[in-house]
Amino acid sequence: MNKLVVVGSINADVVIHTQRHPQPGETLVGSGGQVSAGGKGANQAVAAARLGADVSFVGAVGSDAYAEPAMAHMDCVDTTAVEVVDTNTGLALITVDAAGENTIVLSPGANALVDAPFVTNQSSLVGSADMVLLQGEIPAEGFAAAVDAARGRVVVNLAPVIAVDKDALLKADPLIANEHEAGLILAQFGGPTEGSPRELAQGLRDAGFNSVVLTLGSAGALVAEDEFVEIPTPSVDVVDTTGAGDAFAGALCARLLQGDTLIDAAFYAARVGAFAVTSNGAQASYPNLKSELPG
């Protein structure tokens, strides 16, 4: 079986539900406060593993009480290369409104220690992978070290967008981004930061990316290789959008490792992302191979 190595973040998510998002200086009464597993790296790893991928993870958690809930769903992932370090586990404070839209404030914690020496220490594992998946929740030097160690295909979802080595970033095939992220990435290359999805995707291709997948929320996705292909998403009742983009990214990688074309993988990933928004949480909402996907 082809191997996926994810180098990324592990977080504990604290979720509060409100009717709407608060204005600056405003206090609202909400509900919830549960602690659940999150982190873009961990989310994507779990999503891919539940869909049949052989996944190993390189990352860190703290020595605090949040480490256990942060790792609660990673039993399907090889976590041998996850280190426990003497700091707090990454923490995400998430507010979800009545429409299922979320805002997130992130404290990196242990994820900030996944730097170049940390990743280089796992270079043999990273180098053994058929595919390496990266995000933007670890230090830029750790990101670059992972790309340098990779011998297989590199997939990048640079979220949040951080300033990373441009040559390392251009190894992404594909680059996965939403419209806002695409504009911020283009700014790093001196390109236009606004435009239609096609214009943004074309800008990223012009900047040197071999392939691009723009995620467009309820509008689906756009794949840009030699041509543009629009990917629809099934219509579902949205409960919580937390981690839906990560479900998409993990599913995309799982299908690419199984031999799908990028377009076919994106069609499948859109269905997985739609499934994920129909229940609360990130990893807890992800399907497995027995789940009935919408659409």
The verdict on whether residue 13 carries a ligand-binding annotation is yes
Q: Is the peptide bond before 160 cis (omega within 30 degrees of 0)?
A: yes
Q: Is 62 annotated as a binding residue?
A: no
Which of 235, 238, 272, 242 lies closest to 255, judged by CA?
Answer: 272
245 is an annotated ligand-binding site residue? yes
Find out whether 137 is annotated in a ligand binding site: yes
Task: Assign residue 128 a region (left: φ > 0; alpha: ψ between -120 and 50; beta: otherwise).
Answer: alpha
Is 266 known to sit in a ligand binding site? no
216 is in an annotated binding site: yes
Tokens of 127: 């180098």
Tokens of 137: 């929740």
211 known ligand binder: no
Is 30 annotated in some ligand binding site?
Answer: no
Calculate the alpha carbon distances from 4 to 11, 46, 184 in Å: 20, 11, 27
Instruction: Answer yes or no: is 191 a known binding residue.
Output: no
**Helix (H) and strand (E) counts in the chain:** 10, 13
Does the annotation list 246 as a binding residue? yes
Q: Containing H/E element for 262?
A: helix 262-276
Peptide bond into 174 cis (omega under 30): yes
Q: Is 31 annotated as a binding residue?
A: no
CA atoms of 29 and 19, how far apart (whole Å): 9
Q: Is 130 a catalytic residue?
A: no
Of 115, 173, 246, 260, the catalytic one is 246
Annotated binding residues for substrate, written as ranges, equal: 11-13, 39-43, 137, 246
Annotated binding residues, written as ranges, equal: 11-13, 39-43, 137, 178, 215-220, 240, 242, 245-246, 276, 279, 281, 285
Annotated binding residues for ATP, written as ranges, equal: 178, 215-220, 245-246
**Residues designated as active site:** 246
Annotated binding residues for K(+), written as ranges, equal: 240, 242, 276, 279, 281, 285
